[in-house]
Amino acid sequence: MSSTLRSTPCLSLLLKSRTIAHQPKTSPIAASLPLDRRRHISAYGYTQAKALVYPKHGSPADVLNLHTHSISPPHSNLVTLRTLAAPLNPADINQIQGTYPTAPPFTQEFGTAQPSAVPGNEACFEVLSAGSGCKSVGKGDWVIPRRTGLGTWRTHLQVAEDKVMKVNKGGLKAEQVAIVSVNPVTAYRMLKDFTPLKEGDWFIQNGANSGVGRAAVQLGKMWGLKSICVVRKREGVEGEALYKEMQELGATVVVDDEEIREKGFGERVKEWTNGGREPLNLALNCVGGDDGMALAKTLDAGGTMVTYGAMSKSPLRVGAGMLIFKDLRFLGFWVSKWGDRFPDEKEKTIDEVLGLIRDGIFKDVPMVEVPWSYETKKEELLDAVQGTLEGFRKGKGIFKFCDT
């Protein structure tokens, strides 16, 4: 018998039925959406996603690529998420470079030629769909990553529901929710957890116009604390505008990083603190090096300096006299590790901060929105990433997703 298939009525009917069965269909979900929102839903409910990925550590400009892949419908305890906003933080860049203590895993789940990772630690997501086993979140809810390393620089993703935390989205913008879990929480915990502070006490901080610094100023004012805020020196109108902005946020005193290193600065501090009778027992340091030690020199005996960053990339050279005669404490704080150890406390802190934002008590940090649509080119996204590495910026960079 010949091995060549001959056309028969049954075979023709079978081939015809297979062709029909595999013709693309518009899913019910996609059909119910406006035309500009249907792009991410394809045949059989698959979600078309785009992500910035990197196959190895290195300079973002050298290793980041924009990759397209498909996400299957969720089942069990899985949720499919659409990213609404995702900030660009220095820690995200460090993860790409391979210089951060934690990093997202390299995986082949995206269908890339090499195992790749997605950068980004913060975001606000909308739940597009949820598996039948999901209990804590549902379609339309807003969620944020429960831990760092989720990989947020992408239009869509699918994760187990315990990887995200639901937030009350009422009265909030996606950008506000996207940046709540790192900077405001860091400021809140440093002011609360390291040394007892009462109304009328002082704290001093460098990097005061950063996200953490702005949060600390506002929280401190709410709690009746006074603050000495150190910012990088800016000339002319720009410097005057920054001083005014910090004072409007609640800073008691604003100085630049050159003033704090001047001889006699300690006498100025004594004058501000009512001859030293008002305690100055806490310093918040994100710069390190000589700038960090200049903060420590202003502290009262028994004071505490908390380091949460090292922008200068220079070590702290602690003099023996600070330890022996002033009995200063030098401690560190990493909000990611704290959040992993105390997840319930983290959730409470986030809820409280979001409440303050919702009530208009807590002001947003300046932001530079980077639109990300389905048509956005890789080069546009990489330009925004590169901007995060620059010294003076007009605001925090944040991907704002639209038409994805």
Task: Give the tens place of pLDDT for each residue, 53-94.
Answer: 999 999 999 999 999 999 999 999 999 999 999 999 989 999
Distance, in Å, from the CA atom of 349 to the CA atom of 223, rounded to the nearest integer, reads 15
Nearest to 378 by CA among 52, 48, 118: 52
Mean pLDDT of the chain, nearest integer? 89
Q: What is the mean pLDDT of residues 125-129?
A: 97
| Tokens coding 313 | 């990339």
**pLDDT greater than 80 at residue 209:** yes
pLDDT reading at 398 higher than 70? yes
Say which range, 123-132, 193-202, 306-315, 347-356, has the weakest mean pLDDT.
306-315
Active-site position among 100, 188, 243, 308:
100
Q: Does the annotation mark 46 as catalytic?
A: no
For residue 171, is it left (φ>0), alpha (ψ between -120 and 50) or beta? left
| pLDDT tier for residue 395 given thresholds of 50, 70 and 90 | confident
Sheet with 329-332, edge to edge strand ranges = 253-256, 226-231, 202-205, 280-285, 304-307, 329-332
Query: How many CB atoms sit inside 10 A of residue 15's CB?
Result: 11
> What is the percent of the chain with per-residue pLDDT over 70, rounded to a whole number?
88
Considering only residues 121 and 8, tell me which one the structure prediction assigns the higher pLDDT. Answer: 121
With a cut of 60, say whether residue 1 has pLDDT above it: no
- Tokens 């969620």 belong to 143
Mean pLDDT (whole number) for 314-318: 94
What b/e readout covers 375-392, taking b as 16+ CB neighbours within 10 angstroms?
Answer: ebeeeebbebbeebeeee
**Whole-number pLDDT of residue 313:** 87
150 token code pair: 């989720």
Q: In this structure, what DSSP letter does residue 43 have?
A: G
Would you say residue 314 has pLDDT above 70?
A: yes
pLDDT value for 20: 33
Of 156, 153, 149, 161, the residue nearest 128 (C-alpha): 156
- Closest alpha carbon to 228 in 178, 332, 299: 299
- HSE-CB for 203 with a 13 A CA cutoff: 31
pLDDT at 389 over 80: no
pLDDT score of 387: 82
Handedness of CA 131, 132, 133, 139 (dihedral sign): positive
262 CB neighbour count, 10 Å cutoff: 11
- Is the pLDDT at 379 greater than 80? The verdict is yes
Q: Which residue has the higher pLDDT, 171 or 23?
A: 171
With a cut of 90, say whether residue 16 has pLDDT above it. Answer: no
pLDDT of 154 over the 90 cut: yes
Flag whether pLDDT at 268 surpasses 60. Answer: yes
Mean pLDDT across 161-185: 97
Query: d(Cα 179, Cα 214) in Å, to the nearest integer?
Result: 13
- Could you tell me if 381 and 353 are in contact, meaning their C-beta atoms sit under 8 angstroms apart? no
Distance linking the first and last C-alpha atoms of the chain: 55
* 6 CB-contact burial (10 Å; exposed 0-12 / middle 13-18 / buried 19+): exposed
DSSP of 239-299: HHHHHHHHHHHT-SEEEETTGGGSTTHHHHHHHHTTTTTS-EEEEEESS-HHHHHHHHHTS
User: What SS3 class is residue 19?
Assistant: helix
Average pLDDT of the segment spanning 268-293:
97
| 242-266 pLDDT per residue, tens | 999 999 999 999 999 999 999 999 9
